[in-house]
Amino acid sequence: MEPSRDSLDARWCAVTGGRGFMGRHLVMALLRSGGWRVRITDIGADAALEPVENEGLLGAALRDGRAVYVCADVCKLGQLTEAFEGVDTVFHTAAPDPANNNFPLHYKVNVEGTKNVVEACNTCKVKKLIYTSSSGVVFDGVHGLFSVDESTPYPDKFADAYTETKAEAEKLVMNANDTDELLTCCIRPGGIFGPGGRLVPILVSWRGFIVIMGDGKNCDDFVYVDNVVHGHLCAEKTLSTREGARRSGGKAYFITNMEPMNLWDFFYMVLEDLGYKSRFKLRIPLYLLMPIIFLVEWSYKKILSRFGMHNPSAVTSTTIKYATVNRTFTCNNAAEQLGYKPIVSLKEGVKMTTEFYKQFMA
């Protein structure tokens, strides 16, 4: 189908990290809306489309000019300035893998990279900057969170390098609001899942066998990826009005499915949808688990340091804390001030996610 004249005359936006998990879904939503032309930026030399992407909307948009791929590293200001030229809105989603607890890497990308994004926005007279933060910016790795809102302060000590540097980047974005006519907003998603995400591959690797850490009673706030995208679009729309800009400019908002549930029950729901019916469980109390993990962490770091390596093990004392305490958030402010409400229910999101992965399990 030929693109409409309106779509080719639409405003330009840029998506940093546009080939990442959430970034891909955001790019597709922007193209489907018909109101945007999208500059997809990422560190790869090219877009590296998968066959299904090349044959679908994204491939067509790249061919007819509704989308353009630009190789741009957020750590390189000159590349960003070139990528943002003529852009109305920047959606800044680029970030390292949260599982890699490498502070220098996260600081370079999340903090220094975000400084560059803000500076490039100011240089290019970008009107709006929407930043993808994390609900983990208020988690200290020790104390549980139950239905907390945005008045919850940053902790004195963070759970990991990812959330610490995300919080620093969030401050940069919020402080940049209303400078050089730039309006900003931060989105704090809960645990994101969906097609292309990490959750299902991890659960599949367990083959239906789950080790419940602690008492197994803790709740979490998951969010389907399309709802995270919707939160970003709600923020952009809100900043586009004078009243909305006064109300929401320079603020951060939690975005979840607004359906908090037991963490382990959520895992079981996903596994059952994938066809694992046994629900084989093993429960290990924390007083037994933590000493083992501390020993494993210490041994792992000692071994890696001998070879000049610093990657963490998959299970650490920090990841255990994430899996054993309540972490739920209220989206009342997002609902009232951004007009956000989930467009995909948790059950529907799980169904769409598992259907996507079943094609690779046949």
Return the residue matching tokens 């979840």: 256
Active site residue 157: no
CA distance 59 to 261: 38
Q: Could you tell me the end-to-end alpha-carbon distance of the chain, in angstroms, rounded to an integer?
A: 33
Nearest to 39, CA basis, from 124, 119, 98, 112: 124
Catalytic residue among 127, 128, 166, 321: 166
In this structure, are residues 124 and 78 in contact, taking their beta carbons and an 8 Å threshold?
no
> What are the strands, taking DSSP E only, across 234-295?
251-255, 261-262, 280-284
DSSP states of 314-359: SS-HHHHHHHHS-EEE--HHIIIII----SS-HHHHHHHHHHHHHH
CA distance 256 to 237: 19
* C-alpha 75: how far from chain center: 19
| Catalytic residue list | 166
